Amino acid sequence: MKVPSKHAALSALFALFTFSAGAKEGMWIPTLLEAVEGEMQAMGLHLTAEDIYSVNQGSLKDAIVHFGGGCTAEMVSDQGLLLTNHHCGYGQIAYHSTVENDYLTDGFWAMTRAEELINPDLTATFIDRIVDVTERMAGAEDADAEREAIVAEAIEGTDLEGKVVAFDFGNSHYLITTRTFRDVRLVGAPPSAVGKFGGDTDNWVWPRHTGDFSIFRIYADANNAPADISEDNVPYRPAHHLPVQIGGVEPGEFTMVFGFPGTTEQYLTSDAVEFVINELNPMRIGMRDASLAVINAARASSAALRIGYADKQSSVANAWKKWIGQNKGLIELNALGKKRDLESSFAKRASQAGNRTYAACVPAIQALNAEYFPYQTARALFIEYVYYGADILNFAHAFRNAIESGAELEEKGEWQSTLESLRGTVSGHFRTYDAATDEAILAALTGPYIAHTPRPEFLPQALQGVANGTDFASDLFGKSIFDDEEALVALLDKGSPKAFSKLAKDPAFQLIAQLRSTYFETVAPEYGRLREALDLQTATYTQALRELFPDEAFFPDANSTLRLTYGKVEGSAPYDGMRYEPFTTHKGILQKYIPGDADFDLPEDLVEALRRGEWGGYGNADGDLPVCFTGSNHTTGGNSGSPALNGDGELIGINFDRTWESTMSDILFDETRCRNIMVDIRYVLWVVDIYAGAGHLVEEMDLVR
Ligand code: ASP
């Protein structure tokens, strides 16, 4: 694809905003901070843009970690110690938990380095540098080749990785080089009664009393470079680690959040917002209602299932609740009306300006959207059914090579290693697998999947004519081998490629193979073509908005790259007669405490410790233990675990959520309503040091007051 010729550079765009007031909306590219340095300093920043992001010296960015690809974390010691959210480390905490050693319920604290727990496949990525390559990309005949050349030049002879990322629908491009560590160990996690206090009830809700943190350590080789997991590795020495401020923050104080926001969709046109509200969200919410009913019942039935399905429950429930709030907020804020108003004044200004490209872009987007929506629906259904649905499907898919190419693998001498790796897959999968639960999930999702499939050709043959999801699932599980560990182990022991080839007829393998081929052959190519066409038009639209509405701010959407957002400590008044204070304390934990409740129970020793009130230097001036606070920093998913920093770049908290009234902010940000939620670092330290007795970890940190 050829990249559209560039209009004005983003840096020019940012220069404009220096003069606009109240710049709380926006996720700033760290290389362009000079444009807002003045405003940040006026709000209380005592650092320079160069202190935050520099390629010449250690800067704040060297303490910021892309954790596991989807979250953020921050370095807090010169020995590789990092803090992130409990919900970001949840998969690892659950992975190490058993009914006997239940770290989810009881918490986990490594008292020595030897006790830290290894996590296969967990990564921690640092940004080396971010370079604007827009001009080079705009001049390129072959964008893919140019991208590759830019990366190859940048990483040659280094241990870096690199990629060229499109920003703002391709209006600009940045080269981002990174260094990824592969040995990241679990060091500490509070009990879920702290780390997930309030459960699904309090998720996305203020006032909040969750200690949503966990602690890991990055290990490197003797040269401080990334290495595979090994006993020889040593704690990583970062170029910068954050000082930890235990003096607290005041209402109105400057804050910034530095991390990796995932996705925002601020430039959806009105028809697309209508589609999200009326079709996409209700469909996804409905499917998750159905699977959550199964998962929640299973988890309530036994300790093994409570642990085994903890991670799946969390990931299904998190977006499910967000979408519910998002729809509510979009409707309350009249997002549709606002988008339509913007589009009609846009049309007027574009025609006054006599710019036909500009005038044509919104109708062009809407025409493309009409074609795009069925593909978007099909893609969302595939994600829900395959990635958030029954685990038997992806598990069966892991056998594809052995089933389809066993003989060739044997010829190439790769058969034994294939069997070996499948043994690992089987034992990993069955550690927590429950066939009855999985069958019930498949039963619950099959009906909705079929009913929502927008076109007959998007439905795999195996699902055509299926009238009853329960019967379908029971038949599939009755015939498939993929829910039977013993049978699979016996097959692996026998090890004949021929026996594996017979599994091609297995109904679970058939179903996933057909789901994938239908999706990748019938849906994905057209989805991709339309997405590209939409990006081209939307690039013009964002550019035109900036030109035709010079007094308004239009920020580049989040795209999982490093961004800085800033605001201040403040509450909100989301509804008439209702006020949110910006701080919560330990008193609220005790007020919410309900013995025996799944979301609000507390361990006895925690209740006693909170009642005793010995804060060990982490209390506030009123003698309370601060727990969470809110701020007007523009954040989204992916900012989970991001450091909340004061004007001196000191750690004051860890970002983990947004308030219920902010859940629509990915599509429509509202400065009066949108608040991010952070756990106060003093609560984190009190839990680690005083409650859990893991003070050796706090000793590694640089505390300041
Ligand atoms: N709690 C959020 C998440 O799950 C963070 C956010 O979106 O604000 O990603």
Q: What are the pLDDT digits (tens) for 287-304? A: 999 999 999 999 999 999
Note the pLDDT tens digit of each residue in 543-571.
999 999 999 889 999 999 999 999 999 99
Confidence (pLDDT) at 25: 86
Reply yes or no on whether 429 is catalytic.
no
Confidence (pLDDT) at 7: 41
Closest residue by Cα to atom 3, ligand 1, is 637
What number does the ligand 1 atom closest to the CA of 204 have? 1
**Integer Cα distance of 565 and 625 in angstroms:** 27
For residue 583, which amino acid is it?
F
Q: CA dist 423 to 97, 392, 486, 507, Å? A: 21, 16, 12, 21
Which percentage of the chain shows pLDDT scores above 90? 96
Closest residue by Cα to atom 2, ligand 1, is 657
Q: Out of 66, 87, 209, 240, which one is annotated catalytic?
A: 87
Torsion of Cα atoms, 38 then 39 then 40 then 44, to 10°:
100
- Nearest CA-CA partner of 176 in 184, 166, 186: 166
Confidence (pLDDT) at 6: 40
**Integer Cα distance of 33 and 43 in angstroms:** 14
Residue 266: left if φ>0, alpha if ψ -120 to 50, beta else—which one? alpha
Q: CA dist 456 to 35, 380, 450, 469, Å? A: 52, 16, 9, 18
Confidence (pLDDT) at 553: 84
Reply yes or no on whether 87 is catalytic.
yes
Torsion of Cα atoms, 541 then 544 then 550 then 551, to 10°:
-20
Q: Out of 51, 212, 434, 689, which one is annotated catalytic?
A: 212
Ligand 1 centroid distance, CA of 639 (Å): 7
Q: Is 531:372 a contact under the CB 8 Å cutoff?
A: yes
Confidence (pLDDT) at 17: 44
Domain annotation for the chain: domains and CATH numbers: 5-264+555-704 (2.40.10.120), 270-546 (no CATH)
Ligand 1 and 637: CB distance under 6 A? yes
Q: How many helices (H) and strands (E) does the chain have?
A: 28, 19
Confidence (pLDDT) at 8: 43
Ligand 1 and 90: CB distance under 6 A? no
- Nearest CA-CA partner of 253 in 583, 475, 524: 583
* Residue 704: strand pairing partners: 245
Q: Distance of alpha carbon 358 from its chain centroid, rounded? A: 34
Ligand 1 centroid distance, CA of 640 (Å): 5
Q: Out of 270, 572, 640, 642, which one is annotated catalytic?
A: 640
- Nearest CA-CA partner of 678 in 150, 187, 212: 212
Torsion of Cα atoms, 621 then 624 then 627 then 629, to 10°:
-40
Ligand 1 and 656: CB distance under 6 A? yes
Number of residues that make up the chain:
705
Ligand 1 and 318: CB distance under 6 A? yes
Note the pLDDT tens digit of each residue in 22-48.
437 899 999 999 999 999 999 999 999
| 564 CB-side CA count, 13 A | 25
As given in the structure block, the two tokens for residue 572 are 């909100």
Confidence (pLDDT) at 3: 39
What number does the ligand 1 atom closest to the CA of 677 have? 8
Closest residue by Cα to atom 4, ligand 1, is 637
Ligand 1 and 397: CB distance under 6 A? no
Please report which residue ranges of 108-231 form alpha helices under DSSP H: 134-138, 143-155, 192-195, 199-202
Ligand 1 centroid distance, CA of 276 (Å): 19
**Integer Cα distance of 639 and 657 in angstroms:** 8
3-state per-residue secondary structure call for 426-442: HHHHHCCCCHHHHHHHH
Confidence (pLDDT) at 494: 96
What number does the ligand 1 atom closest to the CA of 658 have? 8
Q: Is 659:701 a contact under the CB 8 Å cutoff?
A: no
Ligand 1 centroid distance, CA of 638 (Å): 7
Q: Distance of alpha carbon 462 from its chain centroid, rounded? A: 33
Ligand 1 and 405: CB distance under 6 A? no
**Integer Cα distance of 195 and 185 in angstroms:** 18
Mean pLDDT by 10 residues, the chain (705 residues): 41 44 75 94 97 96 97 98 98 96 98 97 97 96 97 97 97 98 98 98 98 98 98 98 97 97 98 98 98 98 96 96 98 98 97 95 98 98 98 98 97 97 97 97 98 98 97 98 98 96 98 98 98 98 96 93 97 95 98 97 98 98 98 97 98 98 96 96 98 98 98
Ligand 1 centroid distance, CA of 66 (Å): 15
Closest residue by Cα to atom 1, ligand 1, is 657
The model's pTM: 0.95
**Integer Cα distance of 190 and 692 in angstroms:** 8
Q: At what angle do helices 485-494 and 415-430 cross, to 10 degrees?
A: 170
Ligand 1 and 636: CB distance under 6 A? yes
Ligand 1 centroid distance, CA of 374 (Å): 28
Ligand 1 centroid distance, CA of 159 (Å): 32
Confidence (pLDDT) at 4: 40
Exposure string for 519-533, b = 16+ CB within 10 A, e = fewer: beebbbeebeebbeb
**Integer Cα distance of 155 and 163 in angstroms:** 10
Please report which residue ranges of 433-551 form alpha helices under DSSP H: 435-452, 469-479, 485-494, 497-501, 507-517, 524-548
Closest residue by Cα to atom 9, ligand 1, is 637
Neighbours of 229 (CB within 10 A): 15
Ligand 1 and 358: CB distance under 6 A? no
- Nearest CA-CA partner of 669 in 697, 701, 632: 632
Ligand 1 centroid distance, CA of 290 (Å): 22
**Bridge-based pairing state of the strands 254-259 and 64-67:** unpaired
